[in-house]
A and B are shown apart, each in its own frame.
Chain A
Amino acid sequence: MSEESQVDPDLANLIGKPTGKSKVVLERGPVAYFALAVGDKSPIYKDTRAAKAAGLQAIPVPPTFAFAWDTWGKFPEIQPEDDVPQGSAVGEVVGSLMAKGGTILHGEQEFVYHKPAYVGDVLSGEGKVVDAYRKESKGHVMTFVVTEMIWCDDKTGDPVVTSRSNIIHRL
């Protein structure tokens, strides 16, 4: 199979580029509903008594909720002033690739959990592009862009979750 990595100056310039800042409030209703939507029926996600009985300080969030929480708790009045254009960290990069046509695929997703996230937490996130490369495969030009968003506890500054997404643009 002929698969070749290419060095592209435009892509190299993308690495390190900020993809935006965001502040989110982790809300109880969306957490309960998200857990249900991924097939997790545990009462821990909807009933504070069940969370306490399991020895938890509050209702925790499902492991993939970090990918969706700025849909819910990104309230306009708490956003950082110096935000890079509105939209998710991934959205900005995807938009510029899609201007050429083609298809966007989510290739890989990774979460690193530094500490548990709970309902009621307020988290500040900051994103950047951490890798970008291009390959030709089976007649397609595949552009890979890896973005990283680090979410920290707004009170303590401690990291809570690092989210890394490998987005593929196939042309």
Chain B
Amino acid sequence: MADNEQQVLYFDDIEEGDQAPVKKHRITRTDMVRYAGASGDYMPMHHDEVFAKSIGQPSVFGHGMYSMGLLGAAITDWVGKTSLTKYKVRFSSQTWPDEELRTEVTVKGKTVDGQRHLVDMECRLLNADGDVKVIGEAQAELPARN
């Protein structure tokens, strides 16, 4: 989907096992600095290589909330920007400069709660080797046809 299109995803049109389009991104040190500025999180291990090495890390590493944000963008690209009702992750491992990250968002179930049509998803951010960076779940309320 082009960046400037927002197609409406309907409850009726998805099934358990469906997956959101995969979002891939090679994380750079510039991404880490930009996220530090955008979030106000200037913990030095995310932008200061000298500091990161002084505490025994091989290099700077990405903010956990950057990983959650990137994965969140893949979810809202699919379900819509104002559809989420819940989004929760566990931070499993660090992200390192130049790793190719990819999102994986899978529908786990659909429920109708009165007038509300809810979709539960399982979501993960992984690197090219399949190492899990964050794993979690999200729920969206989608419009129904008719």
Using a CB–CB cutoff of 8 Å, the interface residues on chain A facing chain B are 30, 33-45, 50, 53-54, 56, 60, 62-64, 67-68, 71-72, 105-113, 116
Contacts and interface: CB of A to CB of B under 8 A. Distances in A.
A63 B87 contact: yes
Contact of B81 (A33, A34, A54, A109): A54
B114 interface: no
20 contacts: A30-B38, A34-B39, A37-B31, A37-B35, A37-B66, A38-B38, A38-B70, A38-B73, A39-B23, A43-B4, A53-B6, A60-B81, A62-B72, A63-B69, A63-B75, A63-B76, A68-B40, A109-B68, A111-B86, A111-B87
Band of interface residues on B: 35 or more
Contacts of A37: 31, 34-35, 37-39, 66, 69
Interface string B94-138: 000000000000000000000000000000000000000000000
A63 B69 CA distance: 7
A42 B6 contact: yes
A44 B3 CA distance: 10
Nearest to B137: A110
B6 A54 contact: yes
B67 to A, nearest CB: 9
Contacts of A44: 6, 81
A80 B15 CA distance: 47
Contact of A62 (B64, B73, B86): B73
A105 B39 CA distance: 17
B65 A67 contact: yes
Nearest to B70: A39
Q: Would you list the 8 A-B pairs with minimal beta carbon distance, nearest first? A: A71-B40, A38-B69, A37-B38, A110-B88, A116-B82, A40-B73, A68-B39, A63-B72
